[in-house]
Amino acid sequence: MLRRAARLIILTVLVLAVMEIALVAWHFPWAADDPVRREDALQEYYDFAYTGDGRAAVLKDNPSTRAAQDARTTSNILWRISEFVRVHHLEKARVLDVGSGSGYLQDAVEDYTGIDISRSVASHYHKPFVAGTATAMPFKDHEFDAAWSIWVLEHIPNPEAALSEIRRVVKPGGVIYMLPAWECTPWAAQGYEVRPYDAFGFRGKLVKASIPIRTLPEFLFITSVPNRVIRSAASAWGPTRLRYRRVTPNYEEYWMADSDAVNSLDRAETAMWFESRGDTCLNCERGWKRHVQPDGPLIIRRAAN
């Protein structure tokens, strides 16, 4: 009897271990920037989203931009950026806003420049604005004292290229405020969380039924923390590649937040990318706590070299 119980326990442990390995592998951030991906669809989407023309009827009165406006208010983005400016004494610094949208933060500092892929937002600015991509910015090295980027990286097909460009244009010792939408879900594009079960076929119903489990803190812990530990070991060999998971955007219907995201980025992974290049994360947890650190902005001090 004892031998049978022991075998059952061992079998159970083995099954759980295999399940954990499978979950960790499934959630591992395998994607990187290679090969370079074009941004034509992204530019077209945001050009229409901000003008309210053409595709606006399909986008249901531009819910993506309307949702972004609502989120800015509920998340106190202007207050957060104002605090960032105050704490780091940036009132008169030269600051770049990457993915500046309609320029709602342009008065947070005196010397402001915005860059956005949408050319149609230019009329919103009374301060310098450049229409361009974050992955190849038309600025000189070390041109800015600071930079911020709010809810942008998750929409860029090559996010590591954008991070590299932000580091390039910020002066050594400068500060960077990063706040993408972390951990965008693969089910947001089709609105699984907000649409009824009868809107989906059998497979879709299974996906929707799994979401309450997949969003539990315990599930996120057992899938995210092991991968963060594995990835943190990579920094021992010098600068790391940014690893992330790709998700398929929906540019036709905006069901819920981040329906138009193309990447799922991890905060700890992004912090490690900066730190492996000699930068300092000013608001990251240290030691083992960094693997379970909460969501929120990253505040980076660029290396003084």
Lowest mean pLDDT among 36-45, 104-113, 115-124, 284-293: 36-45
pLDDT tens, 252-276?
888 888 999 999 999 999 999 999 9
Q: Is 120 helix (H, G, I), strand (E, B) or coil?
A: helix
pLDDT tens, 24-76?
676 777 677 766 566 666 666 666 666 654 333 334 455 555 555 555 666 78
- Give a three-class secondary structure readout of 257-290: CCCCCCEECCHHHHHHHHHCCCCEECCCCCHHHH
pLDDT of residue 64: 54
pLDDT tens, 224-253?
888 888 888 877 788 999 999 999 999 888
Report the top-level CATH class of 37-301.
Answer: alpha beta
pLDDT of residue 184: 95
Mean of pLDDT values over 193-206: 94
User: Under a CB-based contact definition with an 8 Å cutoff, are residues 297 and 80 in contact?
Assistant: yes
Q: CA-based angle 260:263:265, to the nearest 5?
A: 130
pLDDT tens, 142-186?
999 999 999 999 999 999 999 999 999 999 999 999 999 999 999
pLDDT of residue 39: 67
Query: How far is C-alpha 163 from the geometric centre of its chain's CA atoms?
Result: 11
pLDDT of residue 43: 65
pLDDT of residue 232: 86
Query: Which phi-psi region, left, alpha or beta, contains residue 127 (left: φ > 0; alpha: ψ -120 to 50)?
Result: beta
Q: Is the pLDDT of residue 187 over 90?
A: yes
Mean of pLDDT values over 4-16: 68
pLDDT of residue 221: 85
pLDDT of residue 60: 42
Find all residues with CB under 8 Å of 221, minimum gap 6, and list them.
292
Domain locations in the chain? Answer: 37-301
User: Under a CB-based contact definition with an 8 Å cutoff, are residues 118 and 50 in contact?
Assistant: yes
Q: Is 304 helix (H, G, I), strand (E, B) or coil?
A: coil
CA nearest neighbour of 45 among 31, 63, 32: 63
Q: Is 189 helix (H, G, I), strand (E, B) or coil?
A: coil
Mean of pLDDT values over 104-125: 95
- How far is the C-alpha of 238 from the C-alpha of 185, rounded, in Å? 30
Dump the DSSP string for 213-255. HHTSHHHHHHHHHHHHHHHHHHGGGSSPPP-BEE----SS---
CB-side neighbour CA atoms (13 Å) of 253: 8
